[in-house]
Every structure is written in C-alpha cells, then in structure tokens.
Amino acid sequence: MAWISEDRRQALVRDGKPLLTDDMKKTLEEKYFPRYPTKRAVLLPALHLVQHEYNWIPPQAIEEIAQFLEIAPAEALDTASFYEEYWLKPKGKYLLQVCRSLTCEICGSEKLREHLQSRLNIDVGETTPDKRFTLVELECLGACGSAPVMLVNEVLYENIASTDQLDQILDRLPDDPHDFKDPNITWEQDGSHSG
Amino acid sequence: MWEWIVWGGMGFSKAVTERASKARTGYIKEVMALTEPVLTKRIPLDPDQRKLIRYDEYVATGGYQALKKALEMSPDEIIKTVTDSGLRGRGGAGFSAGQKWSFIPKEKKGPHYLCVNADESEPGTFKDRYVMNHDPHMLLEGIAITSLATQCDVAYIFIRGEYHYSAKVLEFAIREAYEHGIFGPNGILGSGKKLECYVHRGAGAYICGEETGLLEALEGKRGWPRNKPPFPAIAGAFARPTVINNVETLMNVPHIIERGPAWFKSMGTPSSPGPKLFGMSGHVNKPGVYEDELGITLDYAINTLAGGMKGGAYKACICGGISMGVLGTNQLDIRLDFDDVRFRGGCLGLGTAGMIVMNEHTDMVKALRNCVRFYSHESCGQCTPCREGSHWMRKILDRIVAGEGKASDLNMLMELEKTMGIMPGTTICGLADGTSWATRTFISKFYDEFARVCPEEPQRRVSLKVASGRMNVLTPMGSNTR
Ligand SMILES: Cc1cc2nc3c(=O)[nH]c(=O)nc-3n(C[C@H](O)[C@H](O)[C@H](O)COP(=O)(O)O)c2cc1C
Ligand code: SF4
Ligand code: FES
C-alpha cells in the first residue's frame, strides 16, 4: 500500500482551467479549515473532495491542493500515494471492490472474483475497455457477519450468495454513477458530501 | 510508562498481568448471560426492524441523561468512576480506560484532543460499524462525557474510508447534536464547556487504526506509526495531549456514569468486567454481532449465540481479529475475556472479539496464507522485519499452498515469526506482532496439517515462481495491488 511505484510515468498534463475550483476552495475554507489547527490536516478531506468530483486525483489537482494548503507538492503526493483509496490514475465509473480477507474467503469470495473476472474479461486491478468497471480486491470491509461482501463505489452489497445475484447487481447499476445512491439512506439527508 | 504501553496500546501492563493472574484463581461465575442488553438496547434482534435511532428517539428512551449527570461531576470524579468500573479498552489493547484518561495533564496549557478510533479494519471485526450505524448518539454521548473528563476541546471521529454509510450516519447525528446544543458555541448543553465534534475520514489503510498512525493521518500525513515515547497523552495530535479510544469503549461510558461502577462490575469476570460485543462470522448458522458478558465460553458463543456450526464440526476459531491468533479444536471451553484467551488459550488476547469460526473442512494452510497476505499488504514499510518479513512469509506460504512446500519452509516461517514485533523489540508498532502471533498459533496448533504439505525431502525442484496471478507483480519494497 505504501509503495506505489508504477505511477511515475504518469505525465503531468496541465489543463488550462484549474481543477480545484473556487467552489471547492470555498468548501474547504468554510467547512474544513476551522476544524483543524493546521492547514495540512485538511489534505485528506481535500483529496476526498477532488476524487469525489473527478473520480480520480489528477497530478495537476495535487499541485493545486498543495499550493492551496501551503505545503510542497511532494508532501501532498507523499500522502496521496500512501492511501489505497486515492486513485492517482483514472478508474472506471464503477469500482467493484471485492473483499478477500479470511471470513469472505472461507465463505466463497474467490468464486465471486473469478466470476467478475470472466464476465468482464479483466484481471484484478484492470478497467474494462468501455471504462465502466474497474475490479479490485480489498481487505476486510468490516461486514464479515454478512460475508461475502462487495463494495460498489459507496454502496455495500452483503450476503452475495450466488453468481446470479452478482449478475443482478451489475445489471441494475444505472448508466450514470451520479444516479447511484445508497438505498439504505432513508433518513433525511441534505445531500452534502461527507468529508 | 514505557512498561505499560510498550505495545502502542495493544500491550498489557505488569500491573494488569498481576491482577489477572490473581483473578484467574478467584471466583468466576459458572454461567454467564447478560440479563439485559446494554450497548445494543435500542437495536432490535430482528434485522428487519432495525433502523437508525435519531435524536428524539434517543432522548425519549433515556439518552443524554448520563451527560447531564456528568456535567455535575468534576473531571476527577468522572475519571475515578470509570477507573473503578474497571472498563478496559475494546479496541484490541484491553488497557484501562480510566487510567489512560488520568495520564492527560490536569493543568491545561492549550487545547486537548479526543480521537475516536472508528478505523475498524481488523479482519473479522465488524462490531463498531453495527452500533454506529444504528445508535450513533450513544457514541456522541460517550464522546461528550469523555471530553468533560479529559478537558478536550475538539473530538475527531476517525472513521475508515470504506465506511461511507457510517460516515454519513455520524455526520447526520452530529448535525442533530449541534442543533440540540450537545456540541457547539454555547458549550455542552449550555454549560459553557465548549466541545466541537467532527468526522475525519481515512482512506483505506489498516495501519491508521494504530493510534499514532491515526494521529499522523489526522494531521494530513502518511499513516506511519510514531515511535513512542512521547505518548499521545502528552504529545499526540498536533503535539497536544490526546485521548484515543475505541468506539465501543466510549459507548460504555454513559452507562457507567448513569448506573455506577458496581453495576458494571456485576457483569463479566473480575479482571474483565462489563458487556462486550462479539462479532461472530464464518461457518456459523447465524453470523452477526451479539452482546453478552465478557467471560462467556467459546462453546456458548458458537452454539448458543451464533446458532451452531454450519457445514461441519468445529475446527478452529480466530478469537479477536486475526492479529490475536487462533484457538484450536480442543479449546471450546476457553472463556472469552481479556485474560483467559491469553493465558489458557495461548493467543495474544481477546482483541476486538471479532470471531471467525472455521469448520472441519477449512484448509488451515490457506487460512494462514490469507492472514499473512493481509499483513504483507498492510505493512506500512517503516520497519525492516515487518516489511520484509511479512513478504517473505507470504512468498513461502504461497509456495506451500501451491504444493511446493518443504520442511525448511516451515522452519523458516517459525524463525521469522520469532524475530518480528514489539515483543522481540524489533518494530515500531504492533502490526508485526499480529503477523507473528497468527503464524505462531496456526502452526503450533495445526502442526500436522502444515507438516503434511511440507515434507522432509523435497518432492520436486522448488521453483521460486509465485503461485497466484496477482502475486506476480511484486515491487521490491512491497506489494502493489493496482
Ligand atoms: C496494527 C494495529 C491496528 C489497530 N487497529 C485498530 C482499529 O482498527 N480500531 C481500534 O479501535 N483500535 C485499533 N488498534 C488499537 C489502537 O492502537 C488503540 O490501542 C486503541 O484504539 C485504543 O483504544 P481503547 O483503549 O479504547 O481500546 C490497532 C492497533 C494496532 C497495533
Ligand atoms: S511494525 Fe510494520 S506496520 Fe508497524 S510501523 Fe513497523 S513497518 Fe509499519
Ligand atoms: S472478511 Fe470480508 S468483510 Fe470482513
């Protein structure tokens, strides 16, 4: 996790317009700066914010965040590359995250992974050519009581008993991932992204 | 101080060990069963009826009464009550919560922080998520009382990145709490003792569950555990005195304040009092989170709470997250408290009480491979024995699983296991001890199974090729899963 080395070839492509928009800066300033005594502590929320917006964290955004938080770009990259959840290269619209830890393994997660691999025709860590799905394996998702489990973007699917059920889950995903909401959130919500 | 927390919180003080050995010879109740639920009292047993308990309902069922009581007590009184209750940390360490709070300097020279450890990533553990998702205000009440006791100004709930739903629940509950004056500018319930409470999301790194790794992640750095001393109680988050407690530990606090230490001690064993959430998973009929007294037997947990074995007879059980090691086939009589699992069970401790139950058809070699793969993946890379050792162990186990094991592999595993961790004194944090205890207990308790696949004479030429597809991509320092 700590030693992601393959991204070095990722060229820094500068886009004319800033990726860290004024709106995002305002959110960070108003919501997150008062929370912490240092600016650097806002780094994790800022990276989450950028990833939520663009689905990954482009190198240009890292530079901009670093500048905004008054730290060196290398420090921002250091932190961003340490954490597995931050994607420093583009990923598919839907991130299929299958748990591979002990409970899930003894309850049959390998079967699920193999089914996904053959259905999507990709290996773990790869993205389908149409950029719709990326398949990864994660360690324990904290839902061992309902193993095997899979996290699709932000929604957890539990007790996946059969590959048919898995097919159903994939078939029902909406075209636009922004329409994909957690059905368990029934209580009032103002829609703001939790940071 | 070094003696007590040698293990970054996962250790046991000399005093605790002494007390425990006395307790073992003392009186322990024959039958343990909780008379009424405590932490799960608002969560129905029927999964269909479970829902989020909101502020109004929480207050209508007696919530925030303990906070009112705590406001009339002095910080020292709160700490004394919690120390007297014998509440021990539920995050894996089992360290006395009251004692930990008493290390925070009494004289305030600047802000104090409270960090709630909701990073629950230990395989087999899912108790914190369960209670946070349904009854978040109980946690917030615990946070408020703890902050009164330790004079904290800001509480950060550090939640793992994958818990999207729980993070939203907590944000929602915190908003409700602000609206009703629990937190915010007027102080806790208008008392003038100000407390702010925020959710801080991690980003997928098990090591941020280690308390100083958590602090680094909070400060916006990579989650590298810190060398101790200084301890967080003196210089923690932003170099200020900091309390770090697990979610379940803090949820016990309102009940202790409300009903007193004597009531708390009426549950559990003398050295491990109180109720505990047991996460039962794996080959059982009714997996899930169950609340019962500390000190129930493993047999009771499997057969009564979790509805018995599924698919075959009992073989082994991980007793508290994989870092604690495994309980063997003949250990069903072990009492699940902080000491019996350790002294009679031969494991590291009760840990988080996340139990992974395995039936007779489970391949223990593959199970250990899975555990070691977890550690080699999650090692933060700071200490050589942990970073390199866990990778060697994974390669060796991959080889054994692929049918190319030999006796020297087994010896090498056992040699490696002895040299890594805080206990032999070669690493910064307790992750490496998790690796070694998992390996140690699996091999010693299921030696025959390992010996069978590691024959004395090599059967064929050993190839160093790594078996499974994803293992093929190995960088020199660690693994890359993308
Ligand atoms: C590698 C490692 C991982 C840990 N992960 C967690 C965790 O996910 N959740 C947790 O509450 N404690 C975890 N701990 C224990 C914490 O370091 C710390 O002891 C605990 O949060 C203290 O809280 P408590 O006294 O209430 O148990 C971990 C420890 C180590 C060494
Ligand atoms: S023991 Fe392992 S996880 Fe812990 S600090 Fe050292 S390298 Fe990192
Ligand atoms: S092992 Fe898969 S969720 Fe815990």
Q: What percent of chain A has pLDDT over 70?
A: 88
Which residue type does B231 have? F
Report the range of poorest mean pLDDT among A156-170, B21-35, B315-329, B429-443: B21-35
Whether A54 has a pLDDT exceeding 90, the answer reads yes
Mean pLDDT along residues A47-58: 94
Cis peptide before B229 (omega within 30 of 0): yes
Whether B223 has a pLDDT exceeding 80, the answer reads yes
CA of B9 to the centre of ligand 1 (A): 7
Does A14 lie in the same domain as A75?
yes
Considering only residues B94 and B17, tell me which one the structure prediction assigns the higher pLDDT.
Answer: B94
Helix (H, G, I), strand (E, B) or coil at A108: coil
Mean pLDDT along residues B75-93: 94
Q: Confidence band (pLDDT; 50, 70, 90) for B17? A: very low
User: Which residue ranges form the domains of chain B, and what is each CATH number?
Assistant: 14-20+40-265 (3.40.50.11540), 275-359 (3.10.20.600), 364-472 (1.20.1440.230)
Q: Confidence band (pLDDT; 50, 70, 90) for B375? A: very high
Whether A150 has a pLDDT exceeding 60, the answer reads yes
* Cross-sheet strand order for the sheet of B196-201: B196-201, B154-159, B113-118, B242-246
Non-local CB neighbours of B145 within 8 Å, separated by 6+ positions = B66, B67, B70, B78, B253, B254, B257
Whether B387 has a pLDDT exceeding 70, the answer reads yes
Q: Give the span between the Cα atoms of A52 and B274, in whole angstroms.
A: 41
Question: Which atom of ligand 3 is the closest one to the Cα of A140?
Answer: 4
Structurally, how many domains does chain A consist of?
2
CATH of the domain at A136: 3.40.30.10
At B479 the pLDDT is 37
Q: Give the span between the Cα atoms of B197 and B333, in whole angstroms.
A: 43
Domain containing A76 equals 6-82
Contact A125/B at CB under 8 A: yes
At A169 the pLDDT is 93
Write out pLDDT tens, residues B264-280: 999 999 889 999 999 99
Mean pLDDT of the residues in chain B: 88
Contact B318 A102 (CB under 8 A): yes
Which residue type does B224 have? W
At B254 the pLDDT is 96
Contact A10/B at CB under 8 A: no
- The residue whose C-alpha atom lies closest to atom 6 belonging to ligand 2 is B383
DSSP string, A50-87: HHHHHSS--HHHHHHHHHHHTS-HHHHHHHHHH-TTS-
Does A60 lie in the same domain as A125?
no
Last residue of a domain, one of A57, A82, A107: A82
Instruction: Identify from A103, A155, A189 which residue to disrupt to test chain B contact, counting B C-beta atoms within 10 A and taking the largest count.
Output: A103
| Residue A32 placed within a domain | yes
Q: Give the span between the Cα atoms of B262 and B292, in whole angstroms.
A: 18
The answer to whether the CB of A115 falls within 8 A of the CB of A124 is no
Mean pLDDT along residues B80-94: 93
Does A75 lie in the same domain as A102?
no
ipTM for the predicted complex = 0.91
